[in-house]
Each structure stands twice: as structure tokens, then as C-alpha cells.
């Protein structure tokens, strides 16, 4: 098990291919080169952030924590809502100025069902800084200098970085969904878990043949949630409340936990609490 508490993780700015300011608390991350690699971060997106319409070769979950997050023209993720962005699918252009304020959000990026993996934020930053010596990033697009050896002068900034880091062109997976999927958790009924009084589960969605599962779990004050473990790694994010883990450690709002496959955990709530739960795709290690 890994545990990260919000207050213990510093804010960090990463050199990135987009326009405007965005900072991150990297709460949890996986292993570079592993198809199960992931990053769970809290992002602070300033009002000047913008990005062109683009796509990724990984899956992404977004949840707004404070203020709405813009992800396309007249398309915002409201606080508490969740967006699933499938690998290979386009979205954007993003323009946080449309909201008129900065936003704070949970972002989880992870290798999707295709097995294409996930390039870490550290790898992205190193690649961005190296490419900046051979060209410029403008409005989310990388423009290679005329004297460089680049075959394509203009391309999506992330795509250019990925290709530079990996030494080959990025091949996008065929999208399994035509567009991002948005979920409004309050519209779902919570079902009390058998033998666990005061613990209610809302099953929000399951995606792809690799069984990516989104859930929320609500605990009454004093309740104990016994998580039995899943067949794949699982990420937990505390939306509210506080309490203790079976390991003896304490948790608070916006704490994050990684459970390995088949790893069990008990969570005690000292106050009324809620968690977001993401079961990652079951992928064989490289």
C-alpha cells in the first residue's frame, strides 16, 4: 500500500507543451516502462491555461474539486462531476478563461486497454526541455526549427514530446468511445454493503474489456469499510472526512491510496466521509 496526504506533498510546476500556468501535486505514481504506469495528481489550473484539440495514447480521469474545469467550448466539468477520457479520443480545445477562474482538480492518467502505457510527467518534462532547444512550443503546438532534423515542423506538443522520448512516432490506439464520458455521481443510488453497516457504494461505470471501474464509497461516522482487494491495482481518493487505516496511519480530505492487486485494506471513518475508487485495467507487466 502507498498513502499520500495532501498536506505533505508540495506543489510543482512541470515544463509542459500547453499554454498558460498549471501546477501539480503528484500524490501517487507508478513505474516508468510498465504498462500499468500511472500518475494521480491534484492540478491547479490557472485562468490563462489553454490547449488545442488533441488526444492521448493513455486513459484519463478528471474530477473538479474546486471551481469548474474547461475541457472544450461551452463544456466544463462541474465540481464533483467526473470525466473519463479514453485513449485515442479527441477533446478540446480547452480554454480555462471561459470559466473565468482557476480550478483545482483530481487528474488520474494511466495506461489504457491497448497496452500503450503511460509516459510519466518527469519524462514529459525532460522531453519538453530537450525539444525546446530545437524549436518552440506555441499554444500547445511544437514548431521545430527549420535547421532541425525533424520530419514534421508542426505537431501537437505532447505528441512531439512522446515521439522524442520514445524514439519513434506515436501511434494512437483506435478509440473505443467516440467522445469523453461524463458522470454525475449524485444521480446514482448508494447500496449498503452487506455486513458493513454505514458503508454505501455507488457503482458509477465500467469501461473497456479491461474492466476499468469507477465507484464512490460513503461512510457514516464510526463506520468501517473493509476493501477486499481487486484483481488489478486500485486507487482511492478521499473526497471528504477523515479517519484511520488498518495500517494505523491517518487520512484526511484529499488523501490518496494505491492498493496492489489483491491487496486488502480497512478504512475507519471518524466523521462522515466519502471516497472515489478507480480500479485500473488489468494489464500484464512488460
pLDDT in tens, the chain (286 residues): 999 999 999 999 887 888 889 999 999 999 998 888 999 999 999 999 999 999 999 999 999 999 999 999 999 999 999 999 999 999 999 999 999 999 999 999 999 999 999 999 999 999 999 999 989 998 889 998 876 656 667 889 999 999 999 999 999 999 999 999 999 999 999 999 999 999 999 999 999 999 999 999 999 999 999 999 999 999 999 999 999 999 999 999 999 999 999 999 999 999 999 999 999 998 765 4
Place of cell 501517487: 28
What is the rounded CA–CA span in Å between residue 263 and residue 46?
37
Rg (CA), the chain: 19
CB of 119 within 8 A of CB of 85? no
Instruction: Please state the length of the chain.
Output: 286
Architecture of domain 182-279: Sandwich (2.60)
What is the rounded CA–CA span in Å between residue 92 and residue 95?
8
Domain ranges for the chain: 182-279
CB of 22 within 8 A of CB of 46? yes
For the question of whether the overall pTM of this predicted structure is more than 0.75, the answer is: yes
SS3 187: helix
Amino acid at each position: 500500500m502507498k498513502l499520500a496526504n495532501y498536506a505533505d506533498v508540495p506543489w510543482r510546476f512541470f515544463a509542459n507543451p500547453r499554454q498558460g500556468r498549471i501546477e501539480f501535486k503528484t500524490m501517487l505514481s507508478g513505474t516508468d516502462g510498465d504498462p500499468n504506469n500511472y500518475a494521480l495528481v491534484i492540478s491547479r489550473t490557472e485562468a490563462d491555461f489553454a490547449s488545442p484539440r488533441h488526444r492521448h495514447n493513455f486513459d484519463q480521469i478528471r474530477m473538479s474539486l474546486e471551481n469548474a474545469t474547461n475541457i472544450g467550448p461551452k463544456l466544463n466539468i462541474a465540481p464533483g462531476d467526473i470525466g473519463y477520457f479514453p485513449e485515442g479520443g479527441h477533446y478540446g480545445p480547452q480554454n480555462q478563461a471561459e470559466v473565468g477562474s482557476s480550478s483545482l482538480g483530481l487528474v488520474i492518467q494511466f495506461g489504457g486497454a491497448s497496452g500503450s502505457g503511460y509516459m510519466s510527467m518527469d519524462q514529459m518534462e525532460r522531453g519538453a526541455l530537450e525539444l525546446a532547444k530545437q524549436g518552440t512550443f506555441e499554444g500547445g503546438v511544437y514548431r521545430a526549427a527549420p535547421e532541425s532534423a525533424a520530419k514534421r515542423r508542426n505537431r501537437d506538443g505532447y505528441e512531439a514530446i512522446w515521439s522524442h522520448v520514445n524514439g519513434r512516432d506515436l501511434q494512437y490506439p483506435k478509440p473505443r468511445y467516440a467522445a469523453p464520458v461524463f458522470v454525475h455521481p449524485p444521480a446514482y443510488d448508494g447500496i449498503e454493503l452487506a455486513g458493513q453497516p454505514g458503508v454505501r457504494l455507488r457503482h458509477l461505470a465500467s469501461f473497456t474489456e479491461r474492466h476499468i471501474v469507477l465507484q464512490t464509497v460513503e461512510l457514516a461516522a464510526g463506520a468501517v469499510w473493509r476493501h477486499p482487494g481487486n484483481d488489478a491495482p486500485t486507487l482511492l481518493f478521499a473526497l471528504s472526512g477523515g479517519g484511520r487505516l488498518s495500517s494505523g496511519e491517518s487520512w484526511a480530505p484529499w488523501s490518496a491510496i494505491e492498493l496492489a492487486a489483491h491487496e486488502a485494506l480497512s478504512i475507519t471513518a471518524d466523521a462522515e466521509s466519502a471516497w472515489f475508487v478507480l480500479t485500473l485495467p488489468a494489464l500484464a507487466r512488460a
